[in-house]
Amino acid sequence: MSNDSKRDSKLPAYFTKDPDVTEPELVAKRREQWRHFSRDPYKPAREDEKSSQPAAQVPEAQKQEPKGYSRLLKHPGSGWTLLFYDLAWTATFATLAQNGSFIEPLDALSYFGFFAAMMWLWASQTLYSVHFYTNDWFHLTSIFLQMILFGLLAATTKGYHLTNYISRSPGSTTLNSNSDELSDADELQRFNAEKTDQFSARAMATAFALTRFLHLLQYLRACYYAGWGKGVKTRGHVPRGRFRLTRVPAQIDSILVGLIFSNMMLFAAMGIMFSAFGTTVTGASVRLGLWIGGFLLEVISHLWFPVVRQIARHRRKNKDLKTAHWTEDVNPLPVAKVDLRERLDTITTIILGEGINGFAGTLTSILTAAGVGKAVLVNVASTAFTIWFIAYMYFEGPKSGSNPEGEGIKNQFLLTSFLSTINKSLEGFRQLLGDQDVVQRLQSSDTTLESDTAIKNFLFARNMIWRQQYQELYNLFRNAPNITESLDQMNAWRMRLSMRMVSNTYEARNCVIDLCNEADIVDAKLATDLNVDLGEMQYYKILTELLNGSFEGARYILAFAALIPVCLGIQCIIHSLPRDRYQWAVITSRLVLGLILALLLFLNLGKYQEFYVSRLVANQRAGVFLWLEAFWVLPTIAIGYAVQFLLEIILAYFAKKATERADIQAKAEAGVRTSAMVIGGGEILNQLPSLPRVPHTDPPSSEQGNRRSAGTD
């Protein structure tokens, strides 16, 4: 014993000291570090935990509840696990945003489908964590497994398209059912694309099904504790019906029903994907329908009870009913230390950050390309300001609300910059050939043309070698029978070279397309005719094929730009009705901005619905093409958002002034009331001596009372 005391005396005090129970933070930390496998979320919080919590952090609903019952979780989970969950979701979203291609109109639909699925996976787990996230190994394990599934989704989204085997074959833009018509090289490419698609689809189907199964287990656990947990008696439970099962809140019942059927549909989709039926048009359509139906059913199951409860409350208020509806919060769900709005703001910041990241990558590839014109710089500024205005309207509005996504703006910037770059390059190359007297130097066999520095540097900037192109041009020029044929051959050579420039520029944007066709001598002869339809020339057919998806995106980018302020305005109303005219002014201005931008969709009307037409009727094209050709798409959107930005700043200033005036007026009225009470009290005291005195008499005796009563009778 003495040896132990001697050994302890040699060690520092903290090596042998027990935890200090007088430090509440240390006591709470020691309790949190030891985790049970599963904890009852319905147990009320400890009295010492409730007293140590700041009053500002206590939910309003909890302040209004009786002392015997508290919705605050007794053992709330750690925040770092939710942070890692958000980071895993971010990795999946970043992969989706960076690997997405937008060459065809259906590419945007596929991107939106993936984004909606990813967003719901995050939202459903977050809504669960708001009520049932306790500090136990069950939640640590389930969230860790979902993080692994997010990593699986992040690794397998590349190269997959939702409409594969439905409207297109893997690696193609069309549905090719007959492989006999393909060459060996095309068949090999199709085989590799199908192999990648099959692996990605199976991995995604497995991840979707497993993450929903884990989510179902989480709600089954919450359902068990609601009906059979030890906290049922201590939480002041009030039954809704005759049977024990009615102890489970109706909201959990509805979500469980949705998750059960959703799991059945998603596991059925996974089974289809692992069979040969999944590579047929019918099988792929059924699989996609099961995915959409499963997720949609979950969304409806989450919204059903709140909507029914809101309708019941509205009906009771209008009819002045006294009896409580069955949807009333007789047994409200517990509340964890999870701020849903803060989580939404974090995710929105991540989405905007990914938009900026993608824009920065696009900007880098464009600014390093040759022939960058002033239009690119204008669109750079327009895109940057647009992203900033979107962020401001989200975070500084009356209420935050949606998840604005900048992918459409980024791709419109890509299209505008691409058109500006190739136009600058083609015009510059034509002018350069004239300035260097190439025709005259070829006729005179000038050998210095092969090493011309100006032409060589111009082509170097576009990843091409002048010496090789010179040999081709020299052979064409010498083999021509006459000067007219020589000029035609030179024009055809220039158009082919320009097409290679276009191909190099487009491939620099990570949008590689096989350009097997080239402009020929026929195009060179047609180019001199103003009446010819440019869309019939092989040169412009290739350009149209390259830019078809981007042209379609330019038609409807205003719908996307209009949707953002409209969604932000509607979300402000849904969260809470505005309380003053300034909030209504901000919401109304956002809705008006969305309406004005949507009206610009009428620019799609026009006689000619093609970008490349005869130069004589170019002004009769749809207005959107004239608007695009003038490089005013993104500046128009930026100007609209800038006006809204300035308007909200002005309204915020007037709202501040009005609030200060109302505060001063309220204080003045309170002072007047206080003075009136003081003055009135003084006057009453002054009037007391002049008031008539009532003579004092003894109360009547019992005998007098009896006589009086007898006389009365």
Q: Give the model's pLDDT for residue 421.
A: 47
Q: Give the model's pLDDT for residue 400.
A: 43
Q: Give the model's pLDDT for residue 370.
A: 45
Going by C-beta distance under 8 Å and a sequence separation of 6 or more, which residues neighbour residue 493?
A: 469, 472, 473, 476
Two tokens, residue 345: 């703001």
Q: Give the model's pLDDT for residue 49.
A: 46
User: What does the domain layout of the chain look like in residue ranges?
Assistant: 2-63, 80-338, 436-528, 550-654
- Residue 562, judged by CB atoms within 10 A of its CB (0-12, 13-18, 19+), counts as buried
φ/ψ (deg, to 5) at 505:
-65, -40
Residue 514 pLDDT greater than 50, yes or no? no
Two tokens, residue 147: 């993080």
Residue 120 pLDDT greater than 80, yes or no? yes
Residue 706 pLDDT greater than 50, yes or no? no
Q: Write the DSSP symbol of residue 166.
A: T
Centre a 10 Å sphere on the Cβ of residue 499 and count the other Cβ atoms it contains.
22
Q: Give the model's pLDDT for residue 259.
A: 95
First to last CA, the chain: 99
Burial code (b: 16+ CB inside 10 Å, e: under 16) for 636-654 equals ebbebbbebbebbeebeee
Residue 408 pLDDT greater than 50, yes or no? no
Are 399 and 436 spatial neighbours (Cβ–Cβ below 8 Å)? no
Q: In sequence order, what are the beta bridge partners of 335?
A: 72
The Cα diameter of the chain in Å comes to 152
- Mean pLDDT calculated for residue range 692-710: 47
Q: Note the pLDDT tens digit of each residue in 418-443.
A: 444 444 455 555 666 666 677 777 76
Q: Note the pLDDT tens digit of each residue in 547-571.
A: 665 566 666 677 777 888 887 787 7
Can you state the angle between helices 374-395 and 407-435, rounded to 10 degrees?
A: 170
Two tokens, residue 84: 């890692």
Rounded CA-CA distance 590/211 in Å is 37
Q: Note the pLDDT tens digit of each residue in 631-651.
A: 777 788 888 888 888 888 888
pLDDT band with cut points at 50, 70 and 90 for residue 336: confident
Are 609 and 535 spatial neighbours (Cβ–Cβ below 8 Å)? no
Are 379 and 416 spatial neighbours (Cβ–Cβ below 8 Å)? yes
Q: How many residues would you count in the chain?
A: 713
Q: Write the DSSP symbol of residue 535.
A: G
Two tokens, residue 658: 């009005």
Q: Write the DSSP symbol of residue 335.
A: B
Nearest to 310 by CA among 579, 578, 341, 318: 318
Compute the Cα dihedral for 495, 497, 503, 506 and give only its sign. Answer: negative
Residue 316 pLDDT greater than 50, yes or no? yes
pLDDT band with cut points at 50, 70 and 90 for residue 367: very low
Q: Give the model's pLDDT for residue 644.
A: 87
Compute the Cα dihedral for 130, 132, 136, 140 and give only its sign. Answer: negative
Higher pLDDT, 522 or 36: 36
- Mean pLDDT calculated for residue range 38-59: 55
DSSP symbols for 10-57: HS-HHHHPPP-TT-HHHHHHHHHHS-BS---TTSPPPHHHHHHS-GGG
pTM of model > 0.85: no
Q: What separation in angstroms does the CA of 688 have from each of 299, 680, 684, 692?
A: 73, 13, 6, 9
Q: Which of 87-101, 271-285, 456-470, 554-568 has the highest mean pLDDT?
A: 271-285
Rounded CA-CA distance 577/575 in Å is 7
Question: Which amino acid does the sequence have at 686?
Answer: N
Are 527 and 490 spatial neighbours (Cβ–Cβ below 8 Å)? no
Two tokens, residue 648: 């909200």
Rounded CA-CA distance 224/453 in Å is 80
Q: Give the model's pLDDT for residue 634.
A: 75
Are 503 and 515 spatial neighbours (Cβ–Cβ below 8 Å)? yes
Centre a 10 Å sphere on the Cβ of residue 204 and count the other Cβ atoms it contains.
22
Going by C-beta distance under 8 Å and a sequence separation of 6 or more, which residues neighbour residue 195?
A: none
Q: Note the pLDDT tens digit of each residue in 571-611.
A: 777 666 666 787 788 888 888 988 998 888 887 777 776 76
Percent of the chain's residues with pLDDT above 70? 51
